[in-house]
Chain A
Amino acid sequence: MSRAWDRFRQSGSMFGFSTGRGRSGGDVELLGRGSSTHTVRLGRVQPQAPTHRTIYCNDRDSNLPVRFKGNSISTTKYNVLTFLPKGLFEQFRRVANLYFLMISILSTTPISPVHPITNVVPLSLVLFVSLVKEAFEDWKRLLNDRVINNTPVDVLQNEKWESIPWRKLQVGDIIKVRQDGFFPADLLFLASTNPDGICYIETSNLDGETNLKIRKALERTWDYLLPEKAAEFKGEIECEQPNNSLYTFTGNLLIQNQTLPLSPNQLLLRGCSLRNTEYIVGSVIFTGHETKVMMNAMNVPSKRSTLERKLDKLILTLFGVLFFMCVIGAIGSGIFINVNETYLALNGRVEQQFNPNNRFVVAILTMFTLLTLYSTIIPISLYVSIEMIKFIQSTQFINKDLHMYHIETDTPALARTSNLNEELGQVEYIFSDKTGTLTRNLMEFFKCSIDGEMYGTGVTEIERGAATRDGLNIAETKPSSTAIHEKGFNFDDPKIMRGAWRNEHNPSACKEFFRCLAICHTVLPEGDLSPEKIIYQAASPDEAALVTAAKNFGFFFYRRTPTMIMVRESHIEKMGKIQDISYEILNVLEFNSTRKRQSVICRYPNGRLVLYCKGADTVIYERLVDGNHNIKRVTREHLEQFGSSGLRTLCLAYKELSNELYGSWNEKFIQAKSSLRDREKKLDEVAELIENELILIGCTAIEDKLQEGVPSCIETLSRAGIKIWMLTGDKMETAINIAYACNLINNSMKQFTISSETNAIRAIEDRGDQVEIARYVRDSVKHDLERCLQEAERSQKDIPRTKMALIIDGKCLMFALESNLRGKLLRLSLDCNSVVCCRVSPLQKAQVTSLVKKGAKKITLSIGDGANDVSMIQAAHVGVGISGLEGMQAVMASDFSIAQFCFLSDLLLVHGRWAYLRLCKVITYFFYKNLTFTLTQFWFTFQTGFSGQRFYDDWFQSLFNVIFTALPVIILGLFDKDVSASLSKRYPELYLEGIKNMFFKWRVVGVWAFFSVYQSLIFYYFTSAASTNGLNSSGKIFGLWDVSTMAFTCVVVTANVRLLMECNSVTRWHYVSVGGSILSWFVFIFIYSGIMTTFDRQENIYFVIYVLMSTLYFYLTLLLVPIVALLGDFTYKGLQRWFSPYDFQIVQEIHRHEQDYSRRNELLEVTNHLTPDEARSYAISQLPRERSKHTGFAFDSPGYESFFASQHGIFAPHKAWDVARRASTRTNITNS
């Protein structure tokens, strides 16, 4: 299974790689010095061979001499012969395995104190497990390959389609591919069943795009569709050699002495599939491993978690300790060795290792001896255990968690790599995309204010969140009977719905308001002309929402011709009366980002001339007619209130025009429209002339629908100490607005804005000198940064600390990321609680991510859903993709994929935190266990004249890690839970322990090390001291092997019980594994000491355990030693809990007596005694009322993102509306 994902990963990342490149080109262009061509390339583009290949279509014999490669593919890593050498080679590339290989080799030499078995058995077990895993994966790959290679395909043979397996396909063959079939090789597209020689293909396997792409065959070849006809096809293709550039292809088709140039348009790539076309006929150009897809196969280095990198340091330290111990022993041995030890017979024949005449050699050799003896200090099974634990964690826990399963889209969470589970528990910075991640890109008309009166009863999520913070719980109110909820409209207010507006205090203002909504727009109606079925195609979802709102208020815009807008108006003169009115549209003054407004001049059927205008509050207010300050003031208050509720606002205004005024203005307009130079600018200037002295009608508030639970998730995450940055390609207004809506920014924060949209910069830009623009912007960015930094540092000292937010746009960011300003940017942004970067390119997203990752050395997570997030996802420590509706690119590049942003809280706070906690425990426990075990040997060395005599039997030592203490630690790594999942989310602050890395600090390791020294001393000295002087009534004495067996029993028991002490929750599996491990030791020793083997070995352990167990000494020691050994840890843990408890321990205590609720029954929220209505009105009244600048204006300029992306060589999908709009425009024109 992981295999398949691996592949996805590779293809995905290869795409991301290229995006990075494409972007860098784009940035140059921003400065105006770039070249104009940007091709997107995937992967490395290999240098082309100077030659080309010539293919004779439909002629196998002619192609024979060239020996093109076959179409069968093999993706396996190994075959039967290479498996062992290659697999072993792979294994020994791991340092730990290599180390043990060396130790094993050392232990076959006479200097080794241990039998080779001691090191060979664990090593081979570890290798065996790893190799079995490799073999299994490769076997699945092989099966997969077989399936592919044997897929049938129709090939033209003897004027008939014959079905042959893919692998038998040859270059030059003519084949037929049916609808929904995959192309078996790279094909030259010859003919299709579609009349105009086109076919549709889906490339989702290549780049994740699900939208269809069109390929067109050369007109000359259209006819070769039927087998009889196709058999006549004799063409000669001259084309480039196989290469990995997916989007380029050059070649010529020589047919009947004609040379026709070929382009990528005629190329059908292996891996794509045919859609909406009955079948196509094509000729094979590249086969098997020479197809472009296969040549793109690229290995992507997998990410390693920070914890593992720290683990490497620990292992390195252990090597240091090992070396130190060996040196001590070696020096000791050199000093000890002496001819006088007569019983050692050192004066006769003596090996170099014990030759007293050469003490230096003795020391050196003893050093190697001790190296083999103490090799257990490096935990050999650690890596394998960690891999197993992580694998189960990701496949069983993360992938199957129902809390991260999205029912609507039927999408579970997916861990695409198991390397990074614990990294999820330490994330400090989240970089999030906006559209599709935080928002649904769905605009809904939510509230409005007409003539100073506010309408709309809905409560936004942010209001709800603010209320909950104040301890109120706003229940969902039942929608009233007038409430209508459709796409783009989520509004309820009985005061104006269903014509009720006629009874309001100013119905004429309402009428103007609704007409403005219905007339002033550039929307196209589509489909059935009934109110229920009509579909509005709009340049931005905001516009569609406004027109939908007008429809629901009884002003149904249903048809547009180039000069007319037709509106079906209800309830105008009388309730219930319906009439169709056509408004003549005289001029449309379009929206753009500098004007920030849009106007329409229309003539009523009765001749009334009106200009309707909608736009940002700032630009509308500037142009209002004097007077009527009351409405302006009230409306402004409403605007601010909407803004702080996270709604997007627009002001509506109108102006009556006289015929004369309009006539003279229109002349100027036509002049400007027909001017050839600076037309846009002139149009803007003309528009200024008429867009003045407007009368304010009111304002609208549109909710940019957030993804489910986003604000609360963001709040939870920020309580958990995670800082969330929003990186978006959107405009600054939109970005700020969403930041408000998501709780990233609020009015109490100090905001630093660094923008390139200032008048000064615009003035310079108008002059058009790129060099000067760059210089000026750079200076101003530098100046801004310094100013903000000063301010930030000043307010750092405030008590309580002011929260700060930084908002920066892409152009400024480009300069701020330059090396001389980067440091300042980093310092400033790390001081801020949230950062919003708008109008940033994908490359900049990645740059910002790696700025924090590398510059601040913090753990980062990027989350996004689109192709433009790929680079950022790959740059971060952890990449999360939103697996939802569109595209798979982000998912393919990611490490984890989830369906909803709000699942992040589960992923990080629950799974991440647990994984981190568990892994820390596993690692430290391994460290403790092996250190303790090895140290007992070390203490023994001192009493053996530093000879390197082993304390334990060979088999004890070799099985200690792989049998007697192997399973419980894995159980710990899987099941340990400090607090339940619901508590983890209820106390997000617990996550801080991970961010601060509380459980894998050197201090923690030091404590473990201290106690393993203590325990090892207890083990060694207690068992040996207790074993002197006659041990049963018959007065027999125990020897070395008896004492060591006793000590080893104590070590096994203690190590296992110690693990139990480390667990926060103990399941049945804990008992089974801990008990089983201890039991396995006894079973082993009973058998082992009961038999004599025929091998050449010393029967040291023979009968030992039986004699031991016949003495009281055994039982007394077995009771005493583990308890004394654990007494230290136990006391320490008690004191630690007492004097400096970890947060999770306090939570445990607080909820000690509560049942551990299953995760489905979330803990009951604390409720209050207010009725829902009271609570809601109270909550709303509690909202911040201070004057703020934020009024929530946001309006997407048409197709900004895709436009921006495509300009710089990034392939971004055209938005659906874009395509549809173009289509409908066309039909409209034909209609009229």
Chain B
Amino acid sequence: MEMIHVEEISTSALRSRQISSIHHLRQISFTPKRSKKSEVIYKFTQQNLHACKLSLTPQLVISLFLLMGIIFVPIGFVALHASRSVVEIVNRYDTECMPDEFKSNKVAYIQDISVSKNCTLAIKIPKFMKAPIHIYYQLDNYYQNHRRYVKSRNDKQLQYGLHYIQTSSCMPEEYSNGYPIVPCGLVAWSMFNDTYSFVRHGAPLFINRKNISWKSDRDHKFGEKIFPFNFQNGTLIGGKTLDPTIPLSEQEDLMVWMRASALPSFRKIYGRIEDDLDADEVVFVNIGNNYNTYTFGGKKKLVLSTSNMLLGGKNDFLGLSYITTGFSCIFLAVFFALLHVKNQRPDHDTSHFSWTRKNTIS
């Protein structure tokens, strides 16, 4: 409060300012010609801005539902059709490739270097598969999105290599034998190292393993002159070893692997078969079953899938949800329409006011 006389000065000033603004407003409101700006101010302060009323009237609700239904159902069918046109073969092989004697002790099997990890699967192609046929490996119950895992990498190092010193984020795979590891971190360290090769009619099928990573990764994120250095030299080997002579920008497997998955069950692309596969053909897959998922009960699957232009792989989810949503909308539209017909609330009916209702009850 203090200085009261100041108040007088300031309040009278304030008051006159306010009054003048009110005068201003009055002028605006009464004079026919007014500037656009003052008109806006007038409408703003009088809370009289032009507005369209949004009220969910039955007609609006019904027509909106109908409209959504009409749009969604066709989209759903197209999407479902696209998804259904994809031929997808899923083979779980982590148990198949287990020699019987190790069935009771899977961990011992995978950790025993002396035991051959090779195994062959025969896959019968159910339908004609048009090239390119994507080869995915799928891991279940594998938490690539675990916090310790996700943060254990260093994008700067991938880009600048040893020039970049700070690797603390790569805990616990940052140093080995006193040298920094490139690429450091758990993600790279635990890289998937199963191998697949395909044989058809006795002849090997060519698998194109180029261009399976994102172009932006190749061009910008993984350095052209960065070579895997001191990788997988620690006491424990996590997964695949990388050829130290190939720069990271060409290690596409690594790039694919390093793109952490959102869910604990995920697919990653391995390569592409660029030949068509006919129906009833049998393809043999030689699998190097090296990757240890046995300790934590993870499943390994091999997936062969064609793709279509619309949605890529097989994914019924979008199509089905579009169809479901569309039909529910139509159902709701009908429901509301019935309600509307049966029990219309007349316009200008004041009997529904809470206060009139209360009076009639009492």
**Residues on the B chain within 8 Å of A992, using CB:** 354-355
Q: Closest CB of chain B to A121's CB: distance in Å?
A: 20
The verdict on A384 contacting chain B, using a C-beta distance below 8 Å, is: no
CB pair B156 A1043 closer than 8 Å: no
| Residues of chain A with a CB closer than 8 A to B262's CB | 1024, 1027, 1038-1040, 1042-1044
A345 to B51, CA, bound (A): 61
Which residues of A does B touch, CB under 8 Å? 1, 3-11, 14, 73, 75, 113, 144-145, 147-148, 182-183, 204-206, 270-273, 289, 293-294, 296-298, 338, 340-346, 348-351, 354, 369, 396-397, 399-402, 405, 410, 412, 414, 799-801, 914, 940, 943-945, 947-949, 975, 977, 981, 987, 989, 992, 1022, 1024-1044, 1060-1061, 1063-1069, 1092, 1096-1099, 1102-1103, 1106-1107, 1111-1113, 1116-1117, 1119-1120, 1123-1124, 1127, 1130-1131, 1133-1134, 1137-1138, 1141, 1143, 1145-1146, 1148-1150, 1152, 1156, 1158-1160
CB <8 Å contact, B3 and A1098: no
Complex Cα gap A1040–B258 (Å):
11
Decide: A1107 and B216 in contact? CB cutoff 8 A.
yes
Please give, as numbers and ranges, the residues of chain A lying within 8 Å of B75 by CB-CB distance: 1116, 1119
Q: Please give, as numbers and ranges, the residues of chain A lying within 8 Å of B72 by CB-CB distance.
A: 1120, 1123
> By the criterion CB–CB under 8 Å, are A273 and B55 in contact?
no
Q: With a CB–CB cut-off of 8 A, which chain A residues contact B307?
A: 1030, 1032-1035
Other-chain contact of B3, A148, A989, A1061 (Cβ < 8 Å): A148
- Across the interface, A1064 reaches (CB within 8 A) one of B7, B54, B315, namely B54
Q: A343-B238, A947-B143 are in contact. Are A1113 and B311 (CB under 8 A)?
A: yes
Contact of B318 among A271, A943, A1065, A1120 (CB under 8 A): A1120
| Contact flags B146-161 to A (C-beta < 8 A → 1, else 0) | 1111110111100100
- A7 close to B47 (CB less than 8 A): no
A1158 in contact with B48 given A7-B4, A992-B355 (CB within 8 Å): yes
For the complex formed, measure the closest distance between the CB of A703 and the CB atoms of chain B, giving whole angstroms: 31
Query: Which of B116-124, B240-248, B274-282, B344-352 is found at the contact surface with chain A?
Result: B344-352
- Asked if B4 and A943 make an inter-chain contact with CB atoms under 8 angstroms apart, the answer reads no
B134 touches A1035 (CB 8 A): yes
Among B10, B61, B136, B295, which residue has its beta carbon within 8 angstroms of that of A1030?
A: B136
Q: Is the interface of B mostly helix, strand, loop or mixed?
A: mixed
Task: Out of B45, B308, B322, B353, name the residue touching A1120 (CB < 8 Å).
Answer: B322
Complexed CA–CA distance, A944 and B5 (Å): 66
Can you list 9 A-B contacts (CB < 8 A)? Answer: A14-B1, A342-B296, A345-B238, A396-B45, A412-B18, A1120-B322, A1137-B55, A1146-B353, A1152-B57
The answer on a CB contact under 8 Å between B313 and A341 is no
Interface check B46, CB cutoff 8 A: yes
With A271-B3, A943-B145 in contact, do A1037 and B266 touch (Cβ < 8 Å)? yes
Interface-facing stretch out of B20-28, B93-101, B197-205, B225-233:
B20-28
Produce 1/0 per residue, B87-121, CB < 8 A to A. Answer: 01000000000000000000000000000000000
Is A1098 within 8 A of B151, CB to CB?
yes
Interface size for chain B: under 10, 10 to 19, 20 to 34, or 35 or more residues? 35 or more
- In the complex formed, the residue of B with least CB distance to A203 is B4
Closest to B325 in A: A1124
| Alpha-carbon gap, A992 to B57, bound state (A) | 23
Say yes or no: A344 contacts B7, CB within 8 Å: no
Question: Once the chains bind, are B220 and A1102 in contact (CB under 8 Å)?
Answer: yes
User: Which one of B154, B312, B318 contacts A1032 once the chains associate, using CB atoms below 8 Å?
Assistant: B312
Query: In chain A, what residue has the closest Cβ to B10?
Result: A4
Tell me if B166 counts as interface (CB < 8 A to partner A).
yes
Whether B311 and A1112, one on each chain, are in contact in the complex, defined by CB atoms closer than 8 angstroms, is: yes
Partner among A8, A346, A1134, A1152 whose Cβ is within 8 Å of the Cβ of B336 = A1134
- On whether the beta carbons of A345 and B354 are closer than 8 Å, the reply is no
Contact of B263 among A943, A1032, A1116 (CB under 8 A): A943
Complex Cα spacing A1017 to B54, Å: 28
8 Å CB contact of B269 from A1026, A1036, A1124, A1137: A1036
Tell me if B305 counts as interface (CB < 8 A to partner A). Answer: yes
Instruction: Given the known inter-chain contacts A343-B186, A1064-B55, please indicate yes or no for A945 contacting B146, CB distance below 8 A.
Output: yes
B341 CB within 8 Å of chain A = no
Whether B55 contacts A1035 by the Cβ 8 Å rule is: no
Q: What is the bound-complex CA distance between A236 and B47, given in angstroms?
A: 63
By beta carbon, the residue of chain A nearest B339 is: A1138
Cross-chain contact B145 with A348 (CB below 8 angstroms):
no
- CB-CB under 8 A from B260, the residues of chain A are 1039-1041
By the criterion CB–CB under 8 Å, are A1066 and B352 in contact? no
- Which residues of A sit under 8 angstroms from B362, Cβ to Cβ? 799-801
Tell which of A293, A345, A1156 touches B53, judged by Cβ atoms closer than 8 Å.
Answer: A1156
Taken together as a complex, chains A and B put the C-alpha atoms of A1210 and B325 apart, in Å, by 73
Q: Which residues of B contact A1143 (CB under 8 A)?
A: 353-355
What is the minimal beta-carbon distance from A986 to any residue of chain B, in angstroms? 12
CA distance A1120 to B325 in the complex (A): 8
Binary contact readout B118-132 vs A (1 if CB under 8 angstroms, 0 otherwise): 000000000000001
Given contacts A1033-B312, A1065-B53, A1134-B61, are A1123 and B147 in contact (CB under 8 A)?
Answer: no
CB–CB B321/A1120 < 8 A: yes
Q: Which residues in A have their C-beta under 8 angstroms from that of B295?
A: 340-342
User: Is there contact, CB below 8 Å, between A975 and B51?
Assistant: yes
Q: A183-B5, A206-B4, A1120-B321 are in contact. List 6 more A-B contacts (CB 8 A).
A: A344-B143, A344-B146, A402-B25, A412-B19, A987-B353, A1026-B317
B321 CB to closest chain A CB (Å) equals 6
CA distance A1117 to B155 in the complex (A): 29
Closest to B83 in A: A1029
The 9 A-B pairs with the shortest beta carbon distances in the complex, nearest first, are A1030-B313, A271-B4, A1103-B216, A10-B1, A1035-B134, A947-B147, A1065-B51, A1029-B313, A205-B4
* Known A400-B45, A1098-B153: A205·B8 in contact at CB below 8 Å: yes
Q: A1124-B325, A1138-B339 in contact; A396/B264 too (CB < 8 A)?
A: no
Provide the bound-state CA to CA distance between A127 and B29, in Å.
Answer: 39
Contacts of A1035 in B (CB 8 A): 132, 134, 136, 212, 269, 272, 305, 307, 312-313
Whether B329 lies near A1127 (C-beta < 8 A) is yes
B residues near A1107, Cβ cutoff 8 Å: 214, 216
A424 to chain B, nearest CB (A): 15
